[in-house]
Amino acid sequence: MIDIQNVEKYYGSTRALCGIRCQVSAGKIVGLLGPNGAGKSTLMRIVTTYLASSSGTVSVAGFDVATDPLEVRKRIGYLPEETPLYREMRTENYLRFIGQARQMNPIRLKERLTYVIDKCGLQTVARKPISNLSKGYRQRVGLAQALIHSPDILILDEPSSGLDPNQIVEIRELIREVGKEKTVILSTHILQEVTAVCSEAIIINRGQLVAQGPLETLTGAASQGSQYIATIRGDSESVFEAFKAQSELNQITLAESLGESARYRIQTSNTEDIGELVFETVRDAGLSLSELVRERDDIESLFQRLTTNS
């Protein structure tokens, strides 16, 4: 759906993007992450044809953003961080104006107006001036203008910025709903938002791609090797002695005493499941294993690891 190849962007002598290469498949909600100044907004502006790259290529649904920008724009709905609203206009009139600017057929535009007003929960404010709306409703209007022409792809830059907790929940639910039908790229500083609504993530730092893939894969592979928490019943000295004999399991420490049992943290450089080996080691030592859990990094740990001191 979106193919980005070797994209670089210079602002004067400053290199904002350093040969970015990544792809976004159809039907995904993808989080675009990075610290301030990482290049997220620059990359989105290039994809949406608002900004030209210094080198490299970007194609959207098979159309090159440099040579076929109008075809790309037909297929993209864009919500920048500063929502592009004419606040003196009434909500419905503004959305109609956007559809007319996109040269939509009048009958089709009428259908889409009804759809986006309903989908974005704007029924009660459709005839109100945008200037009278809350920040949450203005974000909804911004999302509605991005959806009015039924694009295949939505690109959202900080859609929850400045919203209160209740409004954030509403916008997230709306993004999830829209994501059932569209490809969505969501740029945000709120890492919990990525966990809540995204299935994949792209992480950039200092203009470079540092990670891309499904969240489960990224967080599972973030740590060097694997880490497990084992709850074992029996004498701790016997536990340490049994695990010491196993080269793959000898990095074991006591995490918590639980009376006759204890929790142990096992670290290994082996990224494959060691559950069977742990069970056999405990059994052969005459001990009892009641629980074994593989720990995984969350998105915050992954983000910090990839964007700190790099």
Residue type, 274: I
| Residue ranges covered by each domain of the chain | 2-220, 224-300
Vertex 211: Cα angle to 207 and 215 (nearest 5)? 135
What digits encode the pLDDT tens for the residues 36-93? 889 999 999 999 999 999 999 999 999 999 999 999 999 999 999 888 899 999 999 9
CA-to-CA dists, residue 227 to 74, 81, 236, angstroms: 47, 39, 19
The pLDDT, as a whole number, for residue 258 is 86
- CATH, domain range 224-300: 3.30.70.3190
CA-to-CA dists, residue 16 to 62, 82, 89, 200, angstroms: 25, 21, 36, 23
Q: Is the pLDDT of residue 310 over 70?
A: no
Equal fold, 2-220 vs 224-300: no
The pLDDT, as a whole number, for residue 269 is 72
The pLDDT, as a whole number, for residue 24 is 93
What digits encode the pLDDT tens for the residues 143-185? 999 999 999 999 999 888 777 888 788 888 888 988 888 999 9
CA-to-CA dists, residue 84 to 130, 140, 236, 250, 298, angstroms: 11, 12, 64, 59, 34
The pLDDT, as a whole number, for residue 300 is 79
Q: Is the pLDDT of residue 226 over 80?
A: no
CB neighbour list of residue 110: distance below 8 Å, 6 or more residues apart: none
C-alpha torsion angle, residues 14, 50, 188, 113 (rounded to 10): 170
pLDDT class of 98 with cuts at 50, 70, 90: very high
Closest CA to 76 of 66, 86, 85, 65: 65
- CB of 151 within 8 A of CB of 73? no
**Token representation of residue 35:** 């610290």
Name the CATH topology of 2-220: Rossmann fold (3.40.50)
What average pLDDT score do residues 260-285 get?
84
Q: Is the pLDDT of residue 221 over 60?
A: no
Q: Is the pLDDT of residue 271 over 90?
A: no
How buried is residue 227: exposed, middle or buried, by Cβ count under 10 Å (0-12/13-18/19+)? middle
The pLDDT, as a whole number, for residue 1 is 86
Question: Phi and psi at residue 221, in whole multiples of 5°?
Answer: -100, 0
